[in-house]
Amino acid sequence: MRCMRPVLLVWLLLLSLAPLPAQAFNFVPSEPKPVPELDFLDREGNEVSLEDFRGKVVILNLWATWCAPCRKEMPGLDRLQAALGEDGLAVVPLSLDRGEVGQIEAFYDEVGLTTLPIYRDPKAAAGRALGAYGLPTTIMIDREGREIGRLLGPAEWDGPEAMTLIRAALAE
């Protein structure tokens, strides 16, 4: 990931200190477009690909343990997976941390995440391939493996606006 400009860093810091308002769900839908092939690691170090999730609606969340807005967002993603995982949704939280899996496990314990799987990309190749210039970046992928929208910054992924959007994608 590129170094963020100071103004963006200040904005992210302020955002991390303020509670998310209900209107903070600024998801940007797009015409379906191909997603680059992405390979990353699971908790055990096995290689995983986005192709492994074909047939599900995917919420691909690029995040890191050092990212304050990510810390606020992750519990909502955990609740989202618990609520809609049985309905064909796969929340794929892809950590861009360079450290070992223990660092991510400690973060999960600290924040109280119980449903989300652990995926990691220690080389941050996914961020570059997807053109993600900040964290968190969340990309919604349809059942055919195409990007149908994205959101830069934290969101209430288990809030009413997000749930309506995701249920509509699951219904298609």
Higher pLDDT, 25 or 69: 69
- Domain residues for 153? 26-171
Question: Is 5 a domain residue?
Answer: no
pLDDT digits (tens, 9 = 90+) for 140-162: 999 999 999 999 999 999 999 99
Judge whether residue 11 has pLDDT over 80: no
Q: In the structure, what pLDDT confidence band is assigned to residue 41 with cuts at 50, 70 and 90?
A: very high
**Residue of 11 and 122 predicted with greater confidence:** 122
Share of the chain above pLDDT 70, in %: 85
Predicted confidence at residue 26, as pLDDT, reads 80
Q: How many C-beta neighbours within 10 Å does residue 76 have?
A: 18
Q: How far apart are CA 90 and CA 78, in angstroms?
A: 11
CA-to-CA dists, residue 158 to 27, 43, 135, 151, angstroms: 13, 24, 19, 14
Q: What is the pLDDT of residue 1?
A: 44
The model carries a pTM of 0.85
Burial class of residue 47 (count of CB atoms within 10 Å of its CB; 0-12, 13-18, 19+): exposed
d(CA 130, CA 149): 12
Computed over every residue of the chain, the mean pLDDT equals: 88
Does 1 reside within a domain? no
- Residue 21 in this model has a pLDDT that exceeds 60: no
Distance CA 162, CA 158 (A): 6
Q: How far apart are CA 115 and CA 108, in angstroms?
A: 10
The reply to whether 21 falls in a domain is no
Domain tally, the chain = 1
**Is 89 among the domain residues?**
yes
Residue 72 is assigned to a structural domain of this protein: yes
Asked whether residue 2 is domain-assigned, the answer is no
Is the per-residue pLDDT at 6 higher than 80? no
Task: Indicate which CATH number applies to the domain containing 120.
Answer: 3.40.30.10
Residue 80 domain flag: yes
